[in-house]
Chains A and B, each alone.
Chain A
Amino acid sequence: MGLAVDVIFRIDRRTGTAVYAQLMHQVRQAVRMGRLAPGDQLPTAREVAERTGINPNTVLKAYRELEVAGLVEARQGSGTYVRAHLKPLPDNLEALRHELAAWAERARAAGLDVSDMQDLVAEVAAGTVPAGQEAHRVG
């Protein structure tokens, strides 16, 4: 199981992203990439804590949020498992991807690089920017 922890969780402490958000993201990615299949057990909070030095409360918080998001399920007294019946991806995924591709094209033309775009997307998605307010970065 130690190996599984290594495969799933790599924490970058220099980014501004909260550690629990990184954990959630990495579980999502592992599921998407097929490294975690439906029915697979996630490493316990204790295992993650011991291998990575992350606060187990943080791990549990990430698992709780993933559960709320419907990606995993906690089974009483046994652990956290990837759900057998994942919420299917929305039908309009392709359309969304299309729109984003067009947007990315415009952004690149405007001089933004990939990390600028990522930041922008994260900022907009996180909702820290007040509605109707144009965000622009300085420096």
Chain B
Amino acid sequence: MSADRTTPALEVAGVAHTFGRRRALDDCSFTVPAGAVTALVGRNGAGKSTLLRAAAGLLRPDSGEVRVFGEPAGDGSLPRIGYVAQQAPLYPMLTVAQTLTVGSRLNPRWDAAYAHRLADDADLPGAARVGTLPAGHRSRLALVMALAKRPDLLLLDEPLAPLDPVARTEVAGTLMADVAERGTTVVLSSHVVADIDGVCDRVVVLTEGRVRLAAEVEAALDGHLVAVGAGIEFSAFDSSEVVEVRAAGADATALIRPTGSAPSGGLAWHRPTLEELLLGYLRTPTRQVPTA
């Protein structure tokens, strides 16, 4: 809608943050173009939530910059973002209807008709107190609140995790319809590959607070190969090309990012599935130098 197609929806530049002595983010940099659906993938504690909180302006990183549509994340970008934190925080003492009313009062771009349609689709009873709702329903209400704000950038911290399989498809459908209709940019964190495949067109892999991979999904899949063969063969590769090697007896499986000619020797290879690609990066926090 009002999303300017040339300004990135989210720019993370050199962001570092520590909690006490724990380093949560370490020199993170990546860009999310407007209109993209980006998955933020990482193991627990990799810094996904911290990054999303920084993008929502809830946390000021120790160093580095987070920009939302060119503006520093903060009060100024609030009307343009929709944020759902991991536990889908809402006020338990309010009813569903009251929560929607709060949304309409606190957000100038609030779309009441859309909010009610989404709440009906999710079978959310208006008179029920939020605190009495099951986790899945609460989480859907939090999503309704974020969507009805009509944001240009949705920041969702594991939005599908508390949902049952039917609700997952419905929510993914709602999100993707919003993307189709309004060109909403979405950044969502997840560990479930099935939730990402076909949904996200970009992926950012975080390991131990660092960006390990930030790329378009299709391009990343095209740019990697999974090779299977005897472990000794991998000495043929430049070490910078090997993402991960896992040995099982004499055989080894490797995720490779070939830069030059195709691998040769007694190897079988295929284009990685998204799961193979992500696992390969997630299992190796730092660049791995293969050992024979």
Q: Which residues between 80 and 139 of chain A lie within 8 Å of chain B, taking CB atoms?
A: 123, 126, 128, 130, 133, 135-139
* Chain B contact surface mostly: mixed
* Residues of A close to B225: CB separation below 8 A: 128
Judging by beta carbons under 8 Å apart, are B175 and A53 in contact? yes
Question: Which of B181, B194, B199 has the most chain A CB atoms inside 10 A of its CB?
Answer: B199
* Residues of A close to B262: CB separation below 8 A: 130, 133
Question: Which of A126, A133, A138 has the most chain B CB atoms inside 10 A of its CB?
Answer: A138
A46 vs B37: C-alpha distance when bound (angstroms): 15
* Chain A contact surface mostly: loop
0/1 interface trace, chain A 1-34, chain B, CB 8 Å (1 if under):
0000000000101111011100000000000000
* Residues of B close to A13: CB separation below 8 A: 193-194, 197-198
* Residues of A close to B272: CB separation below 8 A: 16
The answer to whether A40 has its CB under 8 Å from any CB of chain B is no
* Residues of B close to A126: CB separation below 8 A: 271
Q: How many residues of A contact B (CB 8 A)?
A: 31
The answer to whether A71 has its CB under 8 Å from any CB of chain B is no
Q: How many residues of B contact A (CB 8 A)?
A: 37
* Residues of B close to A52: CB separation below 8 A: 169, 173, 176, 198
The answer to whether B200 has its CB under 8 Å from any CB of chain A is yes
Q: How many A-B residue pairs have CB under 8 A?
A: 89
Min CB distance A25 to B, Å, is 14
The answer to whether B229 has its CB under 8 Å from any CB of chain A is yes
Judging by beta carbons under 8 Å apart, are B271 and A56 in contact? no
Judging by beta carbons under 8 Å apart, are A128 and B176 in contact? no
The answer to whether B62 has its CB under 8 Å from any CB of chain A is no
- Residues of B in contact with A (beta carbons under 8 Å apart): 35-37, 168-169, 171-177, 179-181, 193-194, 197-201, 218, 221, 225, 228-229, 251, 262, 264, 268-273, 276
- Residues of A in contact with B (beta carbons under 8 Å apart): 11, 13-16, 18-20, 44-46, 49-58, 123, 126, 128, 130, 133, 135-139
The 4 closest A-B pairs by CB, nearest first: A53-B172, A49-B176, A56-B180, A19-B198
Q: Could you pull out 11 A-B pairs where Cβ atoms are within 8 angstroms?
A: A13-B194, A46-B181, A49-B180, A53-B175, A55-B201, A57-B35, A57-B36, A58-B198, A133-B264, A137-B268, A138-B229
